[in-house]
Amino acid sequence: MFKMLRVLPLSLTRIKYSNTSGGAATGETSHVPPRSEIPDQYKWHLEDIYANDELWQQDFNTLKSSLKEITQYAGTLKNSSQDLLACLKERDELGIISGRLYAFARMHKDENTSDTKYQGMTGKLESLLAEAGAATAFIEPEILALPDETLTTFRQQEEGLKEYSFYFDNLARQKEHVLSPKEEAILSRVSDITQASENTFNMLAHADMEFPQTIDEQGQMVQLSEGRYSLFIRSSDRNVRQQAFTNLFTTYNRYRNTFASTLSGNVKQNVFYAKTRNYASTLDSALKGDNVPTEVYDNLIATVHMNLAPLHRYVALKKKFLQLTDIHMYDLYTPLVKEVNFPFPYEEGLKLVCTALKPLGSEYAQILDTGLTSGWIDVYENKGKQTGAYSWGNYGTHPFVLLNYNNRYDDVSTLAHEMGHAIHSYYSQENQPYATSSYTIFCAEVASTTNEILLLHHMLNTTTDKNIKLYLINQYLEQVRATVYRQTMFAEFEKMIYEISEEGETLTADSFDTLWHDLNVAYYGSDIVVDKELGIEWARIPHFYSEFYVYQYVTGYSAATTLADKLLKEGQPAQEKYINFLKSGGSDYSLNILKQAGVDMSSPKPIEITLNNFSTMLDQMEKLLT
């Protein structure tokens, strides 16, 4: 998983975050050493970016003076193909320097988030990057204003403009949605105001709202938080998970009208922009950025609907094996098997990942080996270190990976996942010019999830211990439930609320509740009790403020499943296509890139394959449990 970094004006969004929830259900942590106690061989080599802070400062000054230079191109892009090329090259250079500066400061900051030096450097740079955004803002409007014939002539005249072909074609598609300069000026002036709904949501959900106390597994009353909720809801103690569920949703319910107002306000804002910019619908406007037809979205929902039976069977099995007379939503997250202890010290985890990823071929294996042994990875937790995991691809240096490795199977899986992102970045940058080196979010999670699936496949094939097998299958089933079924339900909810709003009808807390409740009943089937409290769950999903975003979790996961299947069954030919996919970076639209790799996301096949695998795993689990 990841979240987008929104503060950056240039294309620096190369960071991929993972959600890894660690720690005991009490929120206790064991002794965490200071960074100085971590041996150097487990630390990343940020000195591969800048040998010291002085060199960073020099580059910072260079960036600052380059900003003045690039503004001199304003108004000149129509003059000649040379001016256009020079300006684009200059902007690439700014992007590369900015990326380098940001990576160094931010990753140092993440080593110890309480370190004020790198906080200062990061902050200072973020201000400069905002200036860079403003200084380069003239470029796209000027290109869009060029008459088609002029741009065609320029592209024919200037060999150097070839590497921007995809960029120009992509920009041209947006032409019909660009308004007159006067209208654009008004739109840019209201953009702060239209952000208000999302800002209010964030303030309420993350700053002002307070949760009550709830019971933990030791029977102690502790303060509930979203973080603790995600641990308590998995508890094998039914009382703990039920209390957490009730306490969380009762609190959201208290602010139901405010949440309804922020969500409907956000919907209205997006509908306004889509209509003003002449899109067929808000969905069309959201998907057009990556040239994804709305049919892909609709087919996804339809295909999942036709394959709900395995999910209903999963619920029934959980009810049976947890020995419950009635199963509620708060019973779904708890594992069917007790936590099994099969630790993987880091060196063993490395070996396991290398073996499991063999189907990706010898070249991939070599790059992986380099990555694992040459300072790409920051392995262990230390005092003040950023939690979770991410990969950072940076043009001109090797990628970096932050982990908080804690010897569990999950940590090995996270390592495989993040190395998937890292090697995707590596291949893209080795094979693409800067202009097309950045891959889309649509493609990003395919490269990481394929690795996770290959690792799981290897584990299931080589494990003889029944409990470990059950643990792995359970984990897989929960992943598909949470990623494919649940996110499709989210995607369907979004589609419904946008259609209601586009038809001019009002969205209220009650209408959101009813839609949410009915979707849960349809998805989870008649075996589950959908408690009244659950109706408010829509209020706590921050992704609804990034419209039509979550469906990409489903497409990413099912593309990865399909590609992993091919790699295992077809060998060499599938392998070549897969490596080409990694090399493609952002040189084409996501659907085209994936089609070349061997998976057609406009067909129902990838989702059918995924849910068929889900069903097969369900059979295996049933067999092992009876």
Report which of 226, 215, 167, 41 is spatially closest to residue 588, judged by C-alpha positions: 167
Within 119-138, the residues that bind Zn ion by CB under 5 A are none
Closest approach of Zn ion to the CB of residue 420, in Å: 8
Q: In the annotation, is 418 catalytic?
A: yes
| Minimum distance, C-beta of residue 572 to Zn ion, in the bound complex (Å) | 27
Nearer to Zn ion, 122 or 448 (CB): 448
For residue 506, give every residue at least 6 positions away whose Cβ sits within 8 Å of its Cβ, in sequence order, or none. 264
Q: In the complex, what is the shortest distance from the CB of residue 169 to Zn ion, in angstroms, rounded to a whole number?
A: 28
Number of residues that bind Zn ion (CB under 5 A): 3
Strand partners, 213: 223
Residue 303 or 404 having the CB closest to Zn ion:
404
CA 19 to chain centre: 9
Tell me the residue nearest to Zn ion as measured from the CB. Answer: 448
For Zn ion, which is the closer residue by CB, 242 or 450? 450
2 vs 259, beta carbon nearer Zn ion = 2
Residue 211 · residue 248 · CB < 8 Å: yes
Contact between residue 4 and residue 445 where contact means Cβ atoms under 8 Å apart = no
Q: How far is the CB of 188 from Zn ion (least distance, A)?
A: 32
250: CB partners within 8 A, 6+ apart: 212, 533
- 8 Å CB contact between 417 and 451: yes
Q: Nearest to residue 483, comparing CAs of 19, 24, 16, 13? A: 19
Q: Which is nearer to Zn ion, 311 or 353 (CB)?
A: 353
Dist CA 131 CA 222 (whole Å): 45
CB of residue 16 to Zn ion, shortest distance in Å:
5
Grouping H, G, I as helix, E, B as strand and the rest as coil, residue 401 is strand
Cβ closer to Zn ion: 103 or 470? 103
Alpha-carbon gap, residue 234 to 554, rounded angstroms: 23
Instruction: Say which of 111, 163, 381, 418 is annotated catalytic.
Output: 418
Euclidean distance between CA atoms 210 and 207, whole angstroms: 8
Do 403 and 414 contact (CB within 8 A), yes or no?
yes
Cα(439)–Cα(13) distance, integer angstroms = 10
CB-CB neighbours of 36 under 10 Å: 7
CB-nearer residue toward Zn ion: 279 or 427: 427
Nearer to Zn ion, 2 or 164 (CB): 2
169: Cα within 13 Å, side-chain hemisphere: 11
**CB of residue 222 vs Zn ion: minimum separation in angstroms?**
31
Q: Least Å distance between CB 342 and Zn ion? A: 24
CB within 8 A of 63, min separation 6: which ones?
94, 97, 98, 101, 128, 132
Based on CB atoms, which residue is closest to Zn ion, 271 or 582?
A: 582
Q: Which of 296, 196, 207 is nearest to 548 (CA)?
A: 296
**HSE on the CB side for 606, CA within 13 Å?**
27
Minimum Å gap between C-beta 569 and Zn ion is 25
* Window 391-450: residues binding Zn ion (CB under 5 A): 448
Nearest partner of 118 among 109, 127, 126, 110, judged by Cα: 109
The residue among 104 and 553 lying less far from Zn ion, judged by its C-beta, is 553
- Nearer residue to Zn ion within complex by CB, 332 or 599: 599
Instruction: Name the residue type at position 392.
Output: W
Q: Segment 207-266, which members bind Zn ion (CB under 5 A)?
A: none
Cα gap 88→101, rounded to integer Å: 20
The reply on whether position 487 binds Zn ion by CB under 5 A is no
CA–CA distances in Å: residue 570 to residues 199, 366, 564, 566, 577: 49, 21, 10, 5, 11
Tell the residue number behind the tokens 């000026």, with chain if given: 185
Quote the CA–CA distance of 44 and 377 in Å, as a whole number.
Answer: 5
CB 41, min distance to Zn ion, A = 25
CB of 443 to Zn ion, least distance (A): 11
Query: Can you say whether residue 380 is alpha, beta or left, with left for phi > 0 and alpha for psi between -120 and 50 degrees?
Result: beta
Structure tokens at 291: 């040239």
For residue 522, which of 549, 555, 486 has the smallest C-alpha distance? 486
Tokens of 576: 């070549």
Residues 443-462, interacting with Zn ion (CB under 5 A): 448
Interface pattern 7-36 for Zn ion (x via CB under 5 A): ---------x--------------------
Q: Are 259 and 510 in contact (CB under 8 A)?
A: no
CA pair distance 249, 64, nearest whole angstrom: 49
Three-class SS of 366-394 = HHHHHHHHCCCEECCCCCCCCCCEEEECC
Shortest reach from residue 592's CB to Zn ion, in Å: 22
By annotation, the residues acting in catalysis are 418
Instruction: Tell me which residues touch Zn ion (CB under 5 A).
Output: 2, 16, 448
